[in-house]
Each structure stands twice: as structure tokens, then as C-alpha cells.
Amino acid sequence: MKKEIILGNKETGLILDNFINDILSSKINFNNAVIIGIKNGGVPLAGLIQKTVFKRFNIDCKIGYVDMTLYRDDPFSVKKSGNATELLFDINDKEVILVDDVISSGRTVRASIDEIFDFGRPEKIRLAVFIDKGGRELPICPDFIGKKIRAGKKEIINVDVLSKKKFVEKI
């Protein structure tokens, strides 16, 4: 497999800043919001969003994580993250910001939403994805997108936003 860095540190950092700013500039009521990262790729992004909400608005949004593996319609084609879902707060009537690193078919998001509804009924779910790879198989449209990158169905997009050398690579 050939790995190719398609966005380097500087461009990834700028896209990340704009992505988080778009979320913070939206009409989300952060006093009534919770942030849920989809394991594994959405976890670091959810943490960055939570930290930035606290810095900008002094609001400490609750944060949780979903491992939607068992909710997939193709559970054997996805690696289990090894970590259980962590939603240690009430999501009823909350505005959920659901976060993932890459969206493609929409199946991961659909499975994550199914799992969230097993924990309660949120007021609204807003989807934030850093990279939109295209190739949707379900009618799912993110509310916030960092960047659209067209890639083939078999191509994998990896995102690293936490290291000093931020990057997006295609495999």
C-alpha cells in the first residue's frame, strides 16, 4: 500500500482552525450541548472542540464517546475499537455535536446515531466531520465539514490532528 500525505502540517492546521471556528460560530446553544466523538477518529477532534468551547465561552460541555461497532449493518467488516461507549451524562433534550474524522458511506454515522438513541432522545444532533471523502450510501449530510477530499471507495484517509506534525494521508 502506498501512503501519500495529501495535507501537510500547515494546511491541516488551518483547516482544523476553520472547522472548529465554524462550529463555534454556529447557532449551537453550548449551555445545552454535549459533544460525542465516534471512536476512534472522532475522539481527538471532540476533545479539541470541547477545549475550544471552554476557552472561548467558559462553558464546560460534557464529552462522551460511542463505539458503534455492534450497531453496524456490516459488523465483521469493521475493527472493534477495543473501548466501550462512554456516555456518562443525560442526553435527553440536549443538542448533540457528533464528531468524526472522516465520513464516506455514512454507515458509521448511522450506527452511531442508533446507539445514541439507546441512551435517550436528544433535542437535535449536529454532525461535524473533518474530512468528507464522498461516496455516500445513505442520505446523511454533515452540518460541519473541514474539507472535502474525493477518494476511491477502497482508499483510506487517515487524519492526525494531535501531533506536532498534523497531516491527512491517503492509503
DSSP count for the chain of H helices, then E strands: 3, 8
Q: One digit per residue, pLDDT tens: the chain, 171 residues?
A: 688 899 999 999 999 999 999 999 999 999 999 999 999 899 999 999 999 999 999 999 999 999 988 777 765 555 554 568 999 999 999 999 999 999 999 999 999 999 999 999 999 999 999 999 999 999 999 999 999 999 888 899 999 999 888 999 998
Q: What pLDDT, on the 0 to 100 scale, is given for residue 157?
A: 93
Q: What pLDDT, on the 0 to 100 scale, is given for residue 75?
A: 54
CATH topology classification for 4-170: Rossmann fold (3.40.50)
Q: What pLDDT, on the 0 to 100 scale, is given for residue 82?
A: 56
Type of residue numbered 134 = G
Q: What global pTM score does this model have?
A: 0.93
* Residue 171 near residue 9, CB atoms below 8 Å: no
The C-alpha atoms of residue 42 and residue 136 are separated, in whole angstroms, by 18
C-alpha cell at 45: 477532534
* Domain chopping of the chain, boundaries: 4-170
The C-alpha atoms of residue 94 and residue 166 are separated, in whole angstroms, by 32
